[in-house]
Amino acid sequence: MELRMLDENEDKLDDLFASAEAQQLLEIYDEYYPRMGFDSPWVAYLVIMDGEVAGTGSFTGAPQDGVVEVAFWTFNGFEGQGVASFVCAHLVDIALAEDPSVVITAKTAPGTNASTRILEKNGFVYRQPVPDDEIGEAWLWVRR
């Protein structure tokens, strides 16, 4: 597995982005980067396996008041291969390398699932339910 930053102006015709999910990701960031800004290292990253995008992980923006949120997504066909675990661990490393004092958070759908297990393995603990624009009621996780 390889981790690569998702640039602002990716070539949408590149074979790397052949899957429908990779194209969806590009569409999301065509809107997201102009709105939130492209502020390296607080951006999105691609997980590449065998020349394909297997998933992604990102910061939801630069830290605000010493807090940054991470998110990850494993594409269909790559579940169970460690993609989300790989990218979550790397996002934690990137955040702490940039600012060792930053508090790293994540949100999940309520209930125990693959995402919650990945967060726990990476030192996150469940804090409380919180509202989320995409999920509705979400669980907030904070890295110890």
- Domain assignments of the chain as residue spans, ordered by start: 2-143
Q: With 0-12 CB in 10 A as exposed, 13-18 as middle and 19+ as buried, what is 89?
A: middle
Q: With 0-12 CB in 10 A as exposed, 13-18 as middle and 19+ as buried, what is 57?
A: buried
Task: Give me the CATH topology for the region 2-143.
Answer: Aminopeptidase (3.40.630)
Which one, of 69, 11, 7, lies nearest residue 33 by Cα? 7
Query: Under 8 Å CB-to-CB from 87, ≥6 apart: which residues?
Result: 3, 45, 47, 55, 56, 57, 72
- d(C-alpha 18, C-alpha 21), whole Å: 8
pLDDT band at 135 (very low <50, low <70, confident <90, very high): confident
Question: Region 111-117: what's the mean pLDDT?
Answer: 95
| pLDDT for residue 144 is more than 90 | no
pLDDT digits (tens, 9 = 90+) for 31-81: 999 998 899 999 999 999 999 999 999 999 999 999 999 999 999 999 999
Residue 33: how many other CB atoms lie within 10 Å: 17
